Chains A and B, each alone.
Chain A
Amino acid sequence: MSMWEYANPKRFMGWTRPVLPWTFALAGVCLVVGLVWGFFFTPDDFRQGSTVKIIYLHVPAALMAINAWIMMLVASLIWVVRRHHVSALAARAAAPVGVTMTLIALFTGAIWGQPMWGTYWAWDPRLTSFLILFLFYLGYIALWEAIEDPDTAADLTSVLCMVGSIFAILSRYAVLFWSQGLHQGASLSLDKEENVADVFWFPLLVCIAGFVFLFIALVLMRTRTEIRARRMRALEARVQRA
């Protein structure tokens, strides 16, 4: 019995069915608790005023936007190495979720940037790399949509995902070279002394957990849909042959 057996489509459908509602419930609880706590029970920042509260949407969305791509990369690698169909479908399912997270991060950032920096958009390295990440997501989704044969599509998109990851990292550091930053440094890191104050930190953690569960739930649900869609196509093909 290895962990790979859980990726068998039938088993996958079996264990995700009971897990899915729980994941959604956890995501809902975390998000409601985190957002209500963050919006109504934390003090305003002494310089940023109440605008600081957009952090509860902005930071988790930005985190998940990057993690979704990393998850797609891992799923692509698993597909290339072990040819697990569920893995390829999970990568496909994660892409639209990731693109939405990227958009949320960009929009909340713009809304926050207008009062704080005096502009909705600036060609700052972090903002620019997110825009580039958005373009990578678009290309990846477009390639999935364009190819009819599912195995070829899975193969080509995983190659694109791997090459794209290298270029995404390269672009991240290239834009640092190109422009000076307006965006503050990382507000969350494990190795630094100076982090966000605890009052903001705990609700933020709850929100991040909420976004993680939401992401897992959405990807599981979309993967189930993809599996069903593929079963349906197989049935149709069988009917046509008969």
Chain B
Amino acid sequence: MIALLRRDLKLAVRAGGGFGLGLAFFLIVVVLVPFGVGPETELLSRIAPGILWVASLLAALLSLDRIFALDYEDGSLALLATSPLPLEGVGLIKALAHWITTGLPLTIAAPALGFLLSLAPEAYAYLLLSLLIGTPALSMIGTFGAALTVGLRRGGLLLSLLVLPLYVPTLIFGAEAVRRGADGLDPTGALLLLGGITAGTFALLPFATAATLRINLR
């Protein structure tokens, strides 16, 4: 499992693209928002939690179709399926690798971008915390979506249609935690629910991912 994780990480870093591209996309979306809604600091600081969450969600979506596509094309996915490692484990590791290459950098970069949107100072800790708890769920759900569309030639657009509705609860709780933090309310409830979603997706979705991979490899 660790070998597979290391291989995926190496591929992501050396192939370029995926790693930096998601971050750059995140930056551009956040920079575009003030052009769209105007530069008033008050308005920006009010919508900042939502914008940061939606932008990181879109950035995570961007690299999803690469999770299985390359392995499927060159046959290494079939090899993995016949290896002693169960496919459930493969799904889990792929999600983890995706999180380390996109979710984690996004989480670390988010406070800097919060600065651009003049996020309330109290909210930074919660922004970091909620992204840290929430982005793994985004990666896991996305891995399931990627497994669903792996056999399709133009699965990218379909992938977003399938995955985005599944992101709704994560987005709601994540953005709500930051918003409550910014308003000086207690965000513990939202953070706990967010943690619940992450734990639940990691407990159940590897099985669904493995089932869809088996169907697609048949």
**Known interface pairs A146-B152, A167-B169. Does A156 touch B162 (Cβ–Cβ under 8 Å)?**
no
B168, CB-defined interface residue at 8 Å = yes
Residue from A139, A156, A159, A166 within 8 A of B165 (CB atoms): A139
Contact with A along B160-187 (1 / 0, CB 8 A): 0110111011001100100000000000
Q: Chain B residues near A234: list those with CB within 8 A.
A: none
B132-180 contacts to A, CB under 8 A, are 144, 148-149, 151-152, 155, 158, 161-162, 164-166, 168-169, 172-173, 176
CA gap between A147 and B162 in the complex, in Å: 14
Nearest residue, chain A, Cβ from B163:
A139
Contact of A152 among B151, B172, B176, B211 (CB under 8 A): B151
Task: Answer yes or no: A174 CB below 8 A from chain B CBs.
Answer: yes
Chain A residues with CB under 8 Å of B176's CB are 177-178
Distance between Cα atoms of A139 and B166 in the complex (Å): 10
CA distance A44 to B168 in the complex (A): 39
Chain B nearest Cβ from A79, distance in angstroms: 12
Which residues of A73-126 are within 8 A (CB) of B? none
Are the CB atoms of A159 and B161 closer together than 8 Å? Answer: no
Number of contacting residues on A, CB 8 A? 25
Contact A152 B173 (CB under 8 A): no
Chief secondary structure at chain A's binding surface: helix
Instruction: Decide yes or no whether A226 CB sits under 8 A from chain B.
Output: no
Chain A 114-167 interface residues, beta-carbon cutoff 8 Å to B: 132, 135-136, 138-139, 142-143, 146-147, 152, 155-156, 159-160, 162-164, 166-167
Q: Does B205 lie within 8 Å of A163, measured CB to CB?
A: yes
The answer, yes or no, to whether B51 is at the interface (CB within 8 Å) is: no
Q: Which of B173, B197, B208 contacts A163 (CB 8 A)?
A: B208
> When the two chains form their complex, are residues B211 and A142 in contact, meaning their CB atoms are under 8 A apart?
no
Quick check: B211 and A132 within 8 Å, CB to CB? no
A171 at the binding interface (Cβ < 8 Å): yes
Contacts of B151 in A (CB 8 A): 147, 152
| A138-B161, A167-B165 given; A178·B172 CB < 8 A | yes
